[in-house]
Structure 1
Amino acid sequence: MDRDAYRRVVGRFATGIAVVTTIVDDTDHAMTVNSFASVSLDPLLALFCAEKVARFHDAVLAAGVWGVSVLADTAEDVSRFYAHRGRPLKGQLDGRPHHRGGLGVALFDDALATLECRTTAVHDGGDHSIVVGEVVAVDTPAEGSPLLYHEGRYRRLG
Protein backbone atom coordinates (compact mmCIF):
# COMPACT_ATOMS: atom_id res chain seq x y z
CA MET A 1 0.00 0.00 0.00
CA ASP A 2 1.29 3.47 -0.89
CA ARG A 3 1.57 5.64 2.28
CA ASP A 4 1.13 8.87 0.30
CA ALA A 5 -2.08 7.59 -1.29
CA TYR A 6 -3.32 6.54 2.14
CA ARG A 7 -2.57 10.01 3.57
CA ARG A 8 -4.43 11.69 0.70
CA VAL A 9 -7.47 9.48 1.23
CA VAL A 10 -7.71 9.86 5.02
CA GLY A 11 -6.96 13.58 4.63
CA ARG A 12 -10.36 13.92 2.99
CA PHE A 13 -11.94 13.26 6.37
CA ALA A 14 -12.22 16.67 8.06
CA THR A 15 -11.28 16.69 11.73
CA GLY A 16 -11.47 19.14 14.55
CA ILE A 17 -8.32 20.22 16.34
CA ALA A 18 -7.62 20.12 20.06
CA VAL A 19 -4.70 20.52 22.41
CA VAL A 20 -4.27 17.70 24.90
CA THR A 21 -2.47 18.55 28.14
CA THR A 22 -1.07 16.66 31.08
CA ILE A 23 1.18 17.39 34.03
CA VAL A 24 4.08 15.34 35.43
CA ASP A 25 6.23 16.46 38.38
CA ASP A 26 4.80 20.01 38.18
CA THR A 27 5.77 20.26 34.49
CA ASP A 28 3.04 20.89 31.92
CA HIS A 29 3.06 18.96 28.67
CA ALA A 30 0.85 19.81 25.69
CA MET A 31 0.32 18.51 22.17
CA THR A 32 -1.92 19.39 19.24
CA VAL A 33 -4.09 16.49 18.07
CA ASN A 34 -6.70 15.92 15.43
CA SER A 35 -7.16 12.32 16.52
CA PHE A 36 -9.61 12.97 19.35
CA ALA A 37 -12.95 11.16 19.49
CA SER A 38 -15.84 10.31 21.74
CA VAL A 39 -15.95 6.56 22.38
CA SER A 40 -18.86 5.75 24.69
CA LEU A 41 -21.73 7.31 26.62
CA ASP A 42 -21.92 4.45 29.13
CA PRO A 43 -19.38 4.74 30.57
CA LEU A 44 -18.28 8.18 29.36
CA LEU A 45 -15.10 7.52 27.38
CA ALA A 46 -12.98 9.52 24.93
CA LEU A 47 -9.74 8.81 23.12
CA PHE A 48 -6.82 10.46 21.39
CA CYS A 49 -3.77 9.08 19.64
CA ALA A 50 -0.21 9.97 20.62
CA GLU A 51 2.81 9.30 18.45
CA LYS A 52 5.14 6.97 20.35
CA VAL A 53 8.28 9.03 19.61
CA ALA A 54 6.74 12.27 20.96
CA ARG A 55 7.84 13.24 24.47
CA PHE A 56 4.15 13.87 25.23
CA HIS A 57 3.49 10.15 24.77
CA ASP A 58 5.55 9.04 27.77
CA ALA A 59 4.39 12.00 29.86
CA VAL A 60 0.68 11.31 29.41
CA LEU A 61 1.13 7.60 30.08
CA ALA A 62 3.07 8.38 33.28
CA ALA A 63 0.51 10.96 34.45
CA GLY A 64 -2.61 8.89 33.85
CA VAL A 65 -4.71 12.07 33.48
CA TRP A 66 -5.21 14.50 30.61
CA GLY A 67 -7.22 17.47 29.48
CA VAL A 68 -8.61 18.34 26.08
CA SER A 69 -9.17 21.89 24.83
CA VAL A 70 -11.11 22.03 21.55
CA LEU A 71 -9.76 24.95 19.51
CA ALA A 72 -11.80 27.74 17.92
CA ASP A 73 -11.18 28.79 14.32
CA THR A 74 -9.25 31.80 15.63
CA ALA A 75 -6.61 29.56 17.25
CA GLU A 76 -4.55 28.35 14.30
CA ASP A 77 -1.42 29.87 15.88
CA VAL A 78 -2.10 27.87 19.06
CA SER A 79 -2.46 24.67 17.07
CA ARG A 80 0.78 25.29 15.18
CA PHE A 81 2.69 26.12 18.37
CA TYR A 82 1.72 22.92 20.21
CA ALA A 83 2.32 20.84 17.06
CA HIS A 84 5.93 22.07 16.86
CA ARG A 85 8.44 19.45 17.98
CA GLY A 86 11.24 20.33 20.36
CA ARG A 87 9.78 23.49 21.87
CA PRO A 88 10.90 24.14 25.46
CA LEU A 89 8.66 22.63 28.13
CA LYS A 90 9.24 25.43 30.62
CA GLY A 91 6.85 28.30 30.07
CA GLN A 92 4.99 26.76 27.15
CA LEU A 93 1.67 27.82 28.67
CA ASP A 94 2.85 31.38 29.41
CA GLY A 95 0.69 33.91 27.61
CA ARG A 96 -2.03 31.34 27.00
CA PRO A 97 -5.02 32.02 29.29
CA HIS A 98 -5.77 28.77 31.08
CA HIS A 99 -6.96 27.33 34.34
CA ARG A 100 -6.47 24.05 36.18
CA GLY A 101 -9.18 21.47 36.12
CA GLY A 102 -9.98 19.17 39.00
CA LEU A 103 -7.34 16.68 37.79
CA GLY A 104 -4.70 19.43 37.79
CA VAL A 105 -4.37 19.59 33.99
CA ALA A 106 -4.30 22.88 32.09
CA LEU A 107 -7.47 23.79 30.17
CA PHE A 108 -7.58 26.76 27.80
CA ASP A 109 -9.98 29.52 28.80
CA ASP A 110 -10.92 30.30 25.18
CA ALA A 111 -11.56 26.69 24.15
CA LEU A 112 -14.90 25.82 22.60
CA ALA A 113 -15.06 22.77 24.84
CA THR A 114 -12.90 21.14 27.50
CA LEU A 115 -12.78 17.65 28.90
CA GLU A 116 -10.81 16.09 31.73
CA CYS A 117 -10.01 12.40 31.49
CA ARG A 118 -8.43 9.65 33.54
CA THR A 119 -6.68 7.02 31.43
CA THR A 120 -8.43 3.64 31.49
CA ALA A 121 -6.67 1.84 28.62
CA VAL A 122 -3.81 2.24 26.18
CA HIS A 123 -3.85 0.25 22.94
CA ASP A 124 -1.14 -0.29 20.38
CA GLY A 125 -1.84 1.63 17.20
CA GLY A 126 1.30 1.07 15.13
CA ASP A 127 3.51 4.14 15.48
CA HIS A 128 0.91 5.67 17.83
CA SER A 129 -0.76 4.65 21.08
CA ILE A 130 -4.51 4.92 21.39
CA VAL A 131 -5.16 6.46 24.79
CA VAL A 132 -8.67 5.89 26.15
CA GLY A 133 -9.90 7.81 29.15
CA GLU A 134 -12.91 8.06 31.41
CA VAL A 135 -14.36 11.55 31.09
CA VAL A 136 -14.67 13.03 34.58
CA ALA A 137 -15.48 16.68 33.75
CA VAL A 138 -16.62 18.76 30.78
CA ASP A 139 -17.21 22.44 30.07
CA THR A 140 -17.98 24.84 27.22
CA PRO A 141 -16.00 27.97 28.17
CA ALA A 142 -16.32 29.89 24.89
CA GLU A 143 -18.57 30.22 21.86
CA GLY A 144 -17.45 30.15 18.25
CA SER A 145 -16.72 27.91 15.30
CA PRO A 146 -14.19 25.08 15.40
CA LEU A 147 -10.80 25.01 13.76
CA LEU A 148 -10.72 22.16 11.22
CA TYR A 149 -8.06 20.21 9.39
CA HIS A 150 -8.77 18.88 5.90
CA GLU A 151 -6.51 17.78 3.04
CA GLY A 152 -3.39 18.86 4.91
CA ARG A 153 -4.57 22.41 5.63
CA TYR A 154 -6.36 24.36 8.31
CA ARG A 155 -9.97 25.12 7.41
CA ARG A 156 -12.90 26.99 8.81
CA LEU A 157 -16.65 26.44 8.53
CA GLY A 158 -18.53 28.51 6.00
Structure 2
Amino acid sequence: MSTEPPCPEARALAAAPDTRLFRQVVGRFATGVAVVTTVADGVDHAMTVNAFTSVSLDPLLVMFCADRTARFHDTVLATGIWAVCVLPEELRAASEHLATPGRRLAGQLDRYRVHRGPATGVPVLSDALAVVECRTHAVHEAGDHSIVVGEVLALDVPNPEGEPLIFHDGRYRRIAGP
Protein backbone atom coordinates (compact mmCIF):
# COMPACT_ATOMS: atom_id res chain seq x y z
CA MET A 1 0.00 0.00 0.00
CA SER A 2 1.41 3.38 -1.03
CA THR A 3 1.46 6.30 1.38
CA GLU A 4 2.31 8.83 -1.32
CA PRO A 5 -0.15 11.70 -1.71
CA PRO A 6 -2.31 11.62 -4.81
CA CYS A 7 -0.96 13.32 -7.92
CA PRO A 8 -1.94 16.99 -8.49
CA GLU A 9 -4.54 15.98 -11.05
CA ALA A 10 -6.27 13.66 -8.57
CA ARG A 11 -6.23 16.35 -5.85
CA ALA A 12 -7.80 18.85 -8.26
CA LEU A 13 -10.64 16.44 -9.02
CA ALA A 14 -11.46 15.78 -5.37
CA ALA A 15 -14.50 17.66 -4.09
CA ALA A 16 -13.74 20.56 -1.78
CA PRO A 17 -14.88 20.05 1.83
CA ASP A 18 -18.20 21.77 2.53
CA THR A 19 -18.53 24.70 4.94
CA ARG A 20 -20.85 22.84 7.33
CA LEU A 21 -18.40 19.96 7.75
CA PHE A 22 -15.50 22.40 8.10
CA ARG A 23 -17.28 24.21 10.96
CA GLN A 24 -18.00 20.86 12.62
CA VAL A 25 -14.39 19.70 12.33
CA VAL A 26 -12.72 22.91 13.57
CA GLY A 27 -15.37 23.18 16.30
CA ARG A 28 -13.88 20.04 17.82
CA PHE A 29 -10.88 22.12 18.87
CA ALA A 30 -11.66 23.58 22.30
CA THR A 31 -10.77 27.26 22.63
CA GLY A 32 -10.84 29.94 25.22
CA VAL A 33 -13.09 32.93 24.67
CA ALA A 34 -11.95 36.53 24.63
CA VAL A 35 -13.31 39.98 23.92
CA VAL A 36 -11.23 42.40 21.88
CA THR A 37 -11.86 46.08 22.60
CA THR A 38 -10.89 49.44 21.16
CA VAL A 39 -12.07 53.04 21.31
CA ALA A 40 -12.68 55.35 18.34
CA ASP A 41 -13.80 58.97 18.62
CA GLY A 42 -14.78 58.43 22.26
CA VAL A 43 -16.99 55.41 21.45
CA ASP A 44 -16.08 52.01 22.91
CA HIS A 45 -16.13 49.02 20.54
CA ALA A 46 -15.93 45.34 21.43
CA MET A 47 -16.18 41.94 19.75
CA THR A 48 -16.10 38.36 21.04
CA VAL A 49 -13.38 36.17 19.52
CA ASN A 50 -12.12 32.65 19.99
CA ALA A 51 -9.37 32.95 17.38
CA PHE A 52 -6.67 34.44 19.62
CA THR A 53 -3.18 33.20 20.33
CA SER A 54 0.37 34.19 21.14
CA VAL A 55 2.67 34.55 18.12
CA SER A 56 6.17 35.49 19.27
CA LEU A 57 8.27 36.00 22.38
CA ASP A 58 10.82 38.25 20.66
CA PRO A 59 9.21 40.64 20.07
CA LEU A 60 6.10 39.95 22.15
CA LEU A 61 3.27 39.48 19.61
CA VAL A 62 -0.27 38.10 19.76
CA MET A 63 -2.98 37.80 17.12
CA PHE A 64 -6.73 37.56 16.71
CA CYS A 65 -8.92 37.06 13.67
CA ALA A 66 -11.71 39.47 12.72
CA ASP A 67 -14.48 38.92 10.19
CA ARG A 68 -13.96 41.54 7.48
CA THR A 69 -17.72 42.22 7.33
CA ALA A 70 -17.99 43.01 11.07
CA ARG A 71 -18.15 46.72 11.90
CA PHE A 72 -15.46 46.08 14.54
CA HIS A 73 -12.98 45.05 11.80
CA ASP A 74 -12.58 48.47 10.17
CA THR A 75 -12.73 50.27 13.50
CA VAL A 76 -9.91 48.28 15.13
CA LEU A 77 -7.75 48.61 12.03
CA ALA A 78 -8.32 52.38 11.95
CA THR A 79 -7.48 52.89 15.64
CA GLY A 80 -4.41 50.65 15.66
CA ILE A 81 -4.75 50.02 19.42
CA TRP A 82 -6.73 47.31 21.17
CA ALA A 83 -6.94 44.99 24.13
CA VAL A 84 -7.71 41.30 24.45
CA CYS A 85 -9.69 40.37 27.57
CA VAL A 86 -9.61 36.62 28.28
CA LEU A 87 -13.01 35.75 29.72
CA PRO A 88 -13.85 33.80 32.86
CA GLU A 89 -16.97 31.61 33.10
CA GLU A 90 -18.91 34.35 34.86
CA LEU A 91 -18.65 36.59 31.77
CA ARG A 92 -20.44 34.16 29.47
CA ALA A 93 -23.32 36.65 29.05
CA ALA A 94 -20.79 39.28 27.93
CA SER A 95 -19.39 36.83 25.39
CA GLU A 96 -22.85 36.10 24.00
CA HIS A 97 -23.86 39.78 23.95
CA LEU A 98 -20.67 41.00 22.27
CA ALA A 99 -20.92 38.23 19.65
CA THR A 100 -24.37 39.39 18.54
CA PRO A 101 -24.22 41.02 15.09
CA GLY A 102 -26.02 44.35 14.75
CA ARG A 103 -26.26 45.01 18.49
CA ARG A 104 -26.56 48.62 19.58
CA LEU A 105 -23.08 50.17 19.65
CA ALA A 106 -23.70 52.94 22.19
CA GLY A 107 -23.36 51.68 25.74
CA GLN A 108 -22.61 48.09 24.77
CA LEU A 109 -20.18 47.75 27.70
CA ASP A 110 -22.34 49.56 30.27
CA ARG A 111 -23.53 46.37 31.99
CA TYR A 112 -19.97 45.18 32.72
CA ARG A 113 -17.25 46.42 35.04
CA VAL A 114 -14.81 48.25 32.76
CA HIS A 115 -11.74 50.41 33.22
CA ARG A 116 -9.28 52.03 30.81
CA GLY A 117 -6.12 50.14 29.93
CA PRO A 118 -3.09 52.11 31.14
CA ALA A 119 -1.09 51.68 27.91
CA THR A 120 -3.85 52.24 25.33
CA GLY A 121 -6.83 53.88 27.03
CA VAL A 122 -9.14 51.29 25.48
CA PRO A 123 -11.89 49.71 27.60
CA VAL A 124 -10.81 46.64 29.55
CA LEU A 125 -13.18 44.21 31.27
CA SER A 126 -12.21 44.47 34.94
CA ASP A 127 -13.19 40.84 35.69
CA ALA A 128 -11.15 39.34 32.82
CA LEU A 129 -8.80 36.46 33.60
CA ALA A 130 -6.04 38.19 31.68
CA VAL A 131 -5.59 41.33 29.58
CA VAL A 132 -3.17 42.05 26.75
CA GLU A 133 -2.99 45.64 25.46
CA CYS A 134 -1.61 45.97 21.93
CA ARG A 135 -0.66 48.19 19.04
CA THR A 136 -1.31 46.73 15.58
CA HIS A 137 1.93 45.32 14.17
CA ALA A 138 0.63 43.71 10.95
CA VAL A 139 -2.61 42.75 9.25
CA HIS A 140 -2.91 39.79 6.88
CA GLU A 141 -5.95 39.07 4.71
CA ALA A 142 -7.10 35.48 5.13
CA GLY A 143 -10.27 34.67 3.20
CA ASP A 144 -13.24 36.39 4.79
CA HIS A 145 -11.21 37.36 7.88
CA SER A 146 -8.15 39.43 8.70
CA ILE A 147 -5.40 38.20 10.96
CA VAL A 148 -4.53 41.13 13.19
CA VAL A 149 -1.11 40.83 14.81
CA GLY A 150 -0.40 43.07 17.77
CA GLU A 151 2.73 44.21 19.54
CA VAL A 152 2.18 43.72 23.27
CA LEU A 153 2.30 47.01 25.18
CA ALA A 154 0.96 45.93 28.59
CA LEU A 155 -0.16 42.80 30.43
CA ASP A 156 -2.42 42.24 33.44
CA VAL A 157 -4.00 39.36 35.36
CA PRO A 158 -6.99 41.03 37.09
CA ASN A 159 -8.79 37.78 37.99
CA PRO A 160 -6.16 35.10 38.71
CA GLU A 161 -8.59 32.77 40.50
CA GLY A 162 -11.30 32.71 37.81
CA GLU A 163 -12.14 29.66 35.70
CA PRO A 164 -11.78 30.11 31.92
CA LEU A 165 -14.77 30.30 29.60
CA ILE A 166 -14.34 27.49 27.06
CA PHE A 167 -16.02 26.98 23.68
CA HIS A 168 -16.15 23.51 22.12
CA ASP A 169 -18.38 21.84 19.56
CA GLY A 170 -20.59 24.93 19.21
CA ARG A 171 -21.28 25.28 22.96
CA TYR A 172 -19.83 26.86 26.05
CA ARG A 173 -18.18 24.30 28.32
CA ARG A 174 -16.56 24.00 31.72
CA ILE A 175 -13.25 22.41 32.52
CA ALA A 176 -13.89 19.32 34.61
CA GLY A 177 -12.03 19.34 37.92
CA PRO A 178 -9.68 16.60 39.11
Q: Aligning the two structures, in what range does the TM-score lie when normalised by the shorter sequence?
A: over 0.9
RMSD, aligned CA: 0.7
SS of residue paired to 1:6: helix
Cα displacement string for residues 57-88 of structure 1 (whole angstroms, at most 9, x for unaligned residues)? 00000000000110001211110000011111
TM-score normalised by structure 2 residue count: 0.87
State the number of aligned residues: 158
**Pair 1:130-2:153 in alignment:** no
Higher strand share: 1
**Pair 1:86-2:102 in alignment:** yes
Please give the alpha-carbon distance, in whole angstroms, between the structure 2 residues aligned to 1:104 and 1:88: 22
Q: What is the CA-CA distance between 1:95 and the residue it aligns to?
A: 2.2
Give 1:98's aligned residue. 114
1:5 partner amino acid: L
Q: Which has the larger radius of gyration?
A: 2
SS of residue paired to 1:90: coil
Which is bigger in relative contact order (C-alpha 8 A, separation at least 6)?
1
Structure 1 runs of 4+ aligned residues shifted over 6 Å read none
Cα displacement string for residues 119-149 of structure 1 (whole angstroms, at most 9, x for unaligned residues)? 0100011000000000110000012110000
Please give the alpha-carbon distance, in whole angstroms, between the structure 1 residues aligned to 2:175 and 2:152: 27
Percent of aligned positions that are identical: 61
Please give the alpha-carbon distance, in whole angstroms, between the structure 2 residues aligned to 1:91 and 1:73: 22
